[in-house]
Structure 1
Amino acid sequence: MSGNTVESCVPKWLHVKFLEEHLQNYYKNDGVKLITFHVKPFSAKENGFTSSMYRVKVTLDIPGKGVGEVKGVKTLDLIVKEAIGDAEFLQQYDVYKKELLFYEQIIPKMNEKLKLLNETDMFPEVYGACKSRNIIILEDLSVKGYQVLPVIRGYNVLETKSILRKLALFHAICAVLQEERSDIFSICKLGHLSRGANGFNNFYVGTFETVIEVLSEWPEFDVYTNKLRRIGDQVIERGYQTYDMNPEHFNTLNHGDLWCPNVMLKMTNGTEEHPFENVNLIDFQFSYWGSPTTDLHYFMNTSIDGNHRPERFYELIRGYHEHLTEFLKQLNYHKHIPTWTEFYKQYQDRRFFGFIVSCLLQPMEINNHLNFEFKDFCMNDANGAKARRSLYEGEQIRANLRKLIPYYDQMGTFELNFDLGGKNKPKS
């Protein structure tokens, strides 16, 4: 084989034989051979803190017949994603097992439903997975014109509506798959604020205290500062309540980490009314079974242009609900489909999570240029306090606080007796 380019920082396991074996399995053809092989690692910022990724371009020879009558010389652009071994706190969420399950077993079933509905694809092609190393080999969507919009920009209203339609389709299909096979998502028990997991608790407690510190510098916010101080020891419990599964509500698989970097957009051939030709979702490490309203709170409070938050929330959620209802009916879902009044009440019940995402989490997502790692924000010392304080120095973040704290207070989010009616709390 000739024409190979492999940078020195690429791991030794990522070699010709490794890829050949997986591509032979994908094409169901033991004769598949690599002709050229080029590997380039993602940057540290592109990787995040749960995985290391590599862009791989291969030219392969496929003799005879394979899947879909594929044969001859073919070029593939791939993403090879490897779990980071030192992210030990993530193991409690089963992030790697969940993602392997999703790409290997769930996506093929979801693709069948997409075909039934005559809908466009929603995920990258999966070329292989290695369970022993927690590695997934995916199609590189960027070569097809897909891109990620920067979180600092955010989506406008029409863009948001387009993505929410796809999210409603995702939620509807997952609900139907679970109806057909009750244990299909059995591993998807814990999201990042679920009871039984605590990997993010120090971060949320620390940033909550930092928000109080910032608000205390604004005399006109004294009433909000005092309310937040009163509930300081309830932050995690209130967060747990938003993730607790209420069997009386509509439940489905949540993406669990739906924000700009995990939404791939094909913008070619888009129109003013339909800005994207297609939308693909990626990264399912924090998926969990529960109310889809947590996905809505997460997505809309991290990824929508701040000029539209929260003024357009009601309109956007209503549009999502209309799509969800339509897709569930088309898929012959047999359980109760919530009315708009029921669904909006379920969304409002989880409004504390909207506060958490918009005021505690989004500052870190916007400030990804800072020279800190996630673990720095979780430390209970002077360095941790300094790191967290840096998240709230920018004018955009402070403007968000000035706008959103009164909004969530008006909804009763910070009242001492705030809960979800007791139905979501686990029995003692």
Structure 2
Amino acid sequence: MPEEKPHPAPVWLTKDYVEDKLQVYFKNNSLQLEELEIKPAIPNGENYASVMTRINVVYSTNESKKKKATNFLVKTTFASKDPAAHVLMHYGIYTREMDMYEKILPELSVIVKEELKDSRRLFAGTVNVDRERDSIIFEDLSLEYYKVACRLKKLDLEHTHLVLEKLANFHAAGAVLAERQPGIFAENFDRGFYNKHTRGYEPIMRNLLEALSRSLELQPDLKQRYQAKIDRLVDRVMDYGEQSTTINPGDFVTLTHGDIWTTNVMFQYDAEGRPSNAIFIDFQFTVWNSPAIDLHYFFSTSIHENLRLERQSELVQFYFYKLVDALKKVKYSGRIPSLFEFQRQFRTKAFYAVFSSLIFEPTMVYNGKEEASMEQIISKSEKGMRFKDDVYRSENIQKKMHLTLPFLDHLGLLDEM
């Protein structure tokens, strides 16, 4: 990916501001910030929904003459003039994530630790939530050697099983929290990528599907079989997406992550180099819905091809048994579906795999020369069209479509629904 000018750090992120927040976090009014270094945490194109900034601090206190150094991460919204902000503001994602870090995640963490007896971290600890500035400061878990897996190489079976185990705990804890605190998810947890309130993502989804259709001109065999279906899908993608996220009678529903893919999971490894824990980050699209949407999204964007194409039913079963075990441990009183019922529920939400694999995943793994941003996805300018075409004309995506399009088509997901 080319060198790109990163989003600038917020102007309010000053030495005095950080010192004030750290005094509260460490519960020590004598804390003095000696040094503050601010730099981008991730390059443009790695995250389409927010700005991540790493702050390196050196501080002292009255209790210790020795200066201490540490890092934190600051997550902020795009500036209001950024096209991404215009799209995302209708989804309530910034207030939702602040709610998650301030209220929900601490509750889930206690349930997982005390009732599921899993002492491993579930998320990064919150340092400060600033609703006036739509920002969150949280722990930098790279200090504990957590790291993100490669978005291009994807996850093997061992990493996949670990994510599914932690996801089952997250879903079970969310379900029982809703039982114990009725209404806790009643406000602002109903707006995932597809919902009944806004279609802000429609231009993004249409533009990328149109780019996919154009790319099929380079592959006559795929063009003949699938181009007409993709063209028809352009006008129906939002309808089908909303159908796939409609909660049906009998569905098991809970708090879902909503954006669970490689870059939103961090792994810690043991001395032998095996993954020992996985934590989730980026809770902007957390939504009350079927856990099947998390599974489809994760399978479509993050795991090895052979797992995605050949072993999904097996992976759903693995997850389901972990979920049932966790629900029983937390004494969930709602109805727990059978495996047969849950597999059926998974299939009814399968259109989520279409948009995840055909629309989002190609941009997630883009590693080409064009500027990668939500602005370029939305734009009809020459630069924007060039980026979108480059996404789908990459050798990797061209090869992948030979597998993905037949896989989805055989399930009837590219036909009228």
Q: Check if 1:327 corresponds to 2:326.
A: yes
1:292/1:125 CA distance change after superposition, 3 Å: same
Deviation at 1:113, TM superposition (A): 0.8
Of 252, 270, 277, the match for 1:268: 270
Q: Distance in 2 between matches of 1:371 and 1:36?
A: 33
Q: Which amino acid aligns with 1:78?
A: F
The C-alpha deviation readout for 1:94-113, integer Å capped at 9, x for no partner, is: 11101111111112111211
1:352/1:309 CA distance change after superposition, 3 Å: same
Deviation at 1:313, TM superposition (A): 1.2
Q: Which amino acid aligns with 1:209?
A: E
1:51/1:216 CA distance change after superposition, 3 Å: closer
2:195 is matched with: 194
Q: Which amino acid aligns with 1:102?
A: M
Of 86, 89, 96, the match for 2:87: 89
Q: Distance in 2 between matches of 1:309 and 1:323?
A: 19
1:212/1:286 CA distance change after superposition, 3 Å: same
Deviation at 1:122, TM superposition (A): 0.9
**How is 1:93-112 mapped onto 2 (pairs within 5 angstroms)?**
93-112=91-110
SS of 2:275 mapped into structure 1? coil
Identity of aligned residues (%): 31
Q: Which amino acid aligns with 1:141?
A: L
Deviation at 1:54, TM superposition (A): 2.2
Q: Distance in 2 between matches of 1:296 and 1:63?
A: 50
2:179 is matched with: 179
Count of aligned positions = 402
**How is 1:200-215 mapped onto 2 (pairs within 5 angstroms)?**
200-215=201-216
2:278 is matched with: 279
Q: Tell me, yes or no, if the aligned pair for 2:93 and 2:285 is still in contact at 8 Å.
A: yes
Which segment drifts farther, 256-265 or 242-251?
Answer: 242-251
Q: Distance in 2 between matches of 1:127 and 1:173?
A: 23
SS of 1:277 mapped into structure 2? strand
Q: Tell me, yes or no, if the aligned pair for 2:300 and 2:353 is still in contact at 8 Å.
A: yes
The C-alpha deviation readout for 1:189-223, integer Å capped at 9, x for no partner, is: 10112222222211212222333333455444424
Q: Tell me, yes or no, if the aligned pair for 2:256 and 2:287 is still in contact at 8 Å.
A: yes
Deviation at 1:25, TM superposition (A): 2.0
1:32/1:336 CA distance change after superposition, 3 Å: same
Q: Which amino acid aligns with 1:85?
A: A
Q: Distance in 1 between matches of 2:345 and 2:319?
A: 14
1:20/1:182 CA distance change after superposition, 3 Å: same
Q: TM-score, normalised by structure 2?
A: 0.89
Q: Tell me, yes or no, if the aligned pair for 2:40 and 2:52 is still in contact at 8 Å.
A: yes
2:140 is matched with: 140
1:219/1:78 CA distance change after superposition, 3 Å: closer
Q: Distance in 1 between matches of 2:404 and 2:45?
A: 29
1:128/1:46 CA distance change after superposition, 3 Å: farther
Deviation at 1:43, TM superposition (A): 4.8
2:360 is matched with: 361
The C-alpha deviation readout for 1:252-304, integer Å capped at 9, x for no partner, is: 11111111111111123356xxx312111111111111111111111111111
Deviation at 1:71, TM superposition (A): 11
Structure 2's unaligned 5+ residue stretches are 1-7
Higher relative contact order (CA 8 A, sep 6+): 2
Q: Check if 1:337 corresponds to 2:336.
A: yes
Of 73, 83, 93, the match for 1:79: 73
Q: Distance in 2 between matches of 1:220 and 1:35?
A: 63
Deviation at 1:334, TM superposition (A): 0.6
SS of 1:45 mapped into structure 2? coil
1:46/1:62 CA distance change after superposition, 3 Å: farther
Q: Distance in 1 between matches of 2:406 and 2:45?
A: 34
Deviation at 1:333, TM superposition (A): 0.5
Q: Tell me, yes or no, if the aligned pair for 1:55 and 1:80 is still in contact at 8 Å.
A: yes
**How is 1:4-403 mapped onto 2 (pairs within 5 angstroms)?**
10-45=9-44, 48-62=47-61, 74-86=68-80, 87-116=85-114, 117-119=116-118, 120-185=120-185, 186-215=187-216, 217-221=218-222, 222-269=224-271, 275-369=274-368, 370-380=370-380, 384-403=384-403
Q: Tell me, yes or no, if the aligned pair for 2:45 and 2:371 is still in contact at 8 Å.
A: no
Q: TM-score, normalised by structure 1?
A: 0.87
Q: Which amino acid aligns with 2:227?
A: T
Deviation at 1:134, TM superposition (A): 1.1
Deviation at 1:244, TM superposition (A): 2.0
SS of 2:392 mapped into structure 1? coil
Q: Tell me, yes or no, if the aligned pair for 2:44 and 2:373 is still in contact at 8 Å.
A: no
Deviation at 1:41, TM superposition (A): 2.9
Q: Distance in 2 between matches of 1:391 and 1:121?
A: 35
Q: Distance in 1 between matches of 2:328 and 2:108?
A: 16
Q: Tell me, yes or no, if the aligned pair for 1:246 and 1:290 is still in contact at 8 Å.
A: no
The C-alpha deviation readout for 1:145-176, integer Å capped at 9, x for no partner, is: 11111211000111111111111111111111
Q: Which amino acid aligns with 1:115?
A: K
Deviation at 1:232, TM superposition (A): 4.2
2:5 is matched with: none
Q: Distance in 2 between matches of 1:13 and 1:172?
A: 39
The C-alpha deviation readout for 1:118-152, integer Å capped at 9, x for no partner, is: 21111111111111101111111112111111211
Q: Which amino acid aligns with 1:22?
A: K
Q: CA RMSD in A?
A: 2.4
Q: Tell me, yes or no, if the aligned pair for 1:49 and 1:84 is still in contact at 8 Å.
A: no
Q: Tell me, yes or no, if the aligned pair for 1:47 and 1:53 is still in contact at 8 Å.
A: no
Deviation at 1:410, TM superposition (A): 1.3
Q: Distance in 1 between matches of 2:94 and 2:319?
A: 29
1:36/1:216 CA distance change after superposition, 3 Å: closer
Q: Tell me, yes or no, if the aligned pair for 1:195 and 1:244 is still in contact at 8 Å.
A: no
Which segment drifts farther, 21-30 or 345-354?
Answer: 21-30
Deviation at 1:89, TM superposition (A): 1.7
